[in-house]
Every structure is written in structure tokens, then in C-alpha cells.
Amino acid sequence: MEELLQVNGLRKTFQLTAKQQKLEKTKEKVKVAVDGLSFTAYKGEVFGLLGPNGAGKTTTLRMLATLIKPDAGDAILDGASIVSQPEQVRSKIGFLTSELKLEDFFTPNYQFDFFSRLYGVDPDTIEKRKKVLFERFGIDRFAEVKVGNLSTGMKQKVSLVISLVHDPDVVIFDEPTNGLDVLTAKVVTDFLLDLKSQGKTIIVSTHIFSLIEKICDRVGIVIAGKMVTCDTLENICAGKPLEDRFFEIYEEKVGKIDE
């Protein structure tokens, strides 16, 4: 299989303010968010990062999307380094996270055109792609409604569509179904499977076991910034439900949950 993303020893630390130290009940001035994380994603597969809140999944994806820089390590995405070639990396990926918002003032139609132009998509392709994606997500009926007036689910769909304006080969989604109603979550999950069938490489982070089981080929379990296991879903589960295996691994590495 062709390697599309090699992540090598990514490390990220954050300085804690006095307020954050108090909140986290620690005297440490530095928090290690990601600690030497490595994994590989292959072309056409769905790779899932699974872990509890604060494990470092989002930080890892933010580094892969070049929003933040790693303190150490690097990742090569389709031949481009996230450290030295961030613009090339950004042009190859579609990134979706709840942190990224769209201007309430503009309509989905305007936003699609605007972001398409930033990605250098030619005008003919913009129109064709917009038609397909808007119809697929039912945005066409709301194309001229300001984003601020859309429902939360519709906003999420518009954000998802905007992240794919340039038809990227690598799609990185952080908690893609978080906060969505069941119907919208299903639309998103089905779309991810569609992207997979189109041969796109998908990296998702989530703590929802059912989502991982439904769409992922391989899974990396991240705990306290470290990759504790990375393998195919079958190998990790070893015939057990993923949820059970996850807690076994968690207790093996961290200790009893009630401790």
C-alpha cells in the first residue's frame, strides 16, 4: 500500500498560565500535549485516532493541518513537510474542526466561491462542484441564506462542504459528528464512506467507538499524548467490541479508571 502520510515523533508542549495551572491543578508550567507521536496512513484508507478528551488528538490534527507547529518531529503528507512546506500541505488537505467557523454574514454560496478562489479552483469547476456538494447535503435550498441564520446542523454541513471545495486527496476531520443530531451525523458518516470509496485518505479523531467501527480501517489509540497502539481495527479488537478493547488497553497503560 502507498504511504500518504508519515508522522514521525511529533511533540507539542504548551506554556500554562497561572490560571491554567490552577484549573489543571498542577504546578508544572509546561503541558506536554503530544509526546513523540508517530503513525502512518495509507492512500485510500480511513485512519482513526481514538482517545479520551485531552489525549492530544486535536493537537495532532492541528499540527497536521499546519495551524500550529510541532516543537519536535515532522510529518510528510504526500511528499510535503508540515514544518517546512506548510502551504503545500494546506493545499492538499481538507480540514474540518469545530474550531473553524464561517462568517455569519455571508451565504453558503458566497463562502463556497470565496474559499474555492483561495484554493485556486477554476470558475467552471467551482460551479460544478458546488452543485454536486450542495445537492448532496441539501444546502442548495439555503444557498442564499446567511450562515448566521442557518440551523447548527446546516452550518456544520456548510463547513464540511467548504473544507472540500478543492477536492483534496487527504481529508482530516476532528470529531466530525460531535454535537450533531442523529440525522446530520448519519449524513456525515455516509459521506465519509463515500469519500473512502472515491479513494480519498481520511484521518478522523473521535472518542465515539461506533464511528470508528463503522468507517475506520486502522486505528491509533492515543493516551496522554502518546500513541499506545496502532494497528488495523481487526487486530486491535481481536474479536472483541472496540469499546471493551479500548478500556483494557487504557487500564493496562494508565491504571484502573476508578483510580
Partner 1 sequence: MNNVMTIIKKELSRFFGDRRLVFTTVLMPGLMIYLMYSLLGQRMVQEMSTAEDYVTKAYVVNLPKEIREGTAESPVEWKDWDGNPDDVDRVFHELEEGEIDLVVCFPENFMTDAAAYEIGSGAAPQVEIYYNSAKSNSYTSYDSLRDYLDRFEESMVNKYDVNVGEETGSLGTYDQAPKNGAVGKMLAGLLPMLIMTFIFSGVQGVAPESIAGEKERGTMATLLVTPVKRGALAFGKVISLSIIALMSGISSFLGTILSMPKMMGDQVDFDMSAYGYSNYALLFFVIISTVLVLVSVISIISAMANSVKEATTMMAPFMIIVMITSLLPMIGVKFGGAFASLIPLFNSVKVMGGIFEFKTDVTAAFMTIGVNLAVTCLLVGVLTKMFSSEKVMFSK
Contacting residues toward partner 1, per CB under 8 A: 65-69, 87-88, 90-91, 95, 99-106, 110, 114-115, 117-120, 162
The smaller minimum CB distance to partner 1, of residues 67 and 193, is found at 67
The smaller minimum CB distance to partner 1, of residues 99 and 231, is found at 99
The smaller minimum CB distance to partner 1, of residues 30 and 100, is found at 100
Q: What is the closest distance, in whole angstroms, from the C-beta atom of residue 241 to partner 1 in the complex? A: 35
Q: What is the closest distance, in whole angstroms, from the C-beta atom of residue 6 to partner 1 in the complex? A: 21
Q: What is the closest distance, in whole angstroms, from the C-beta atom of residue 94 to partner 1 in the complex? A: 9
Do 209 and 239 touch, CB atoms closer than 8 A?
Answer: no
| C-alpha–C-alpha distance, residues 140 and 154, integer Å | 11
Q: What is the closest distance, in whole angstroms, from the C-beta atom of residue 165 to partner 1 in the complex? A: 9
Q: For the residues of 55-105, what is the DSSP string, one character each?
A: SSHHHHHHHHTTSS--SEEEEEETTEETTT-HHHHHHHEEEE-TT----TT
Do 19 and 33 touch, CB atoms closer than 8 A?
Answer: no
Do 60 and 227 touch, CB atoms closer than 8 A?
Answer: no
The smaller minimum CB distance to partner 1, of residues 122 and 259, is found at 122
Q: Residue 112 is placed in which grid cell?
A: 463556497
Q: What is the closest distance, in whole angstroms, from the C-beta atom of residue 119 to partner 1 in the complex? A: 6
Q: Which of 32, 28, 17 is nearest to 223 (CA)?
A: 32
The smaller minimum CB distance to partner 1, of residues 117 and 186, is found at 117
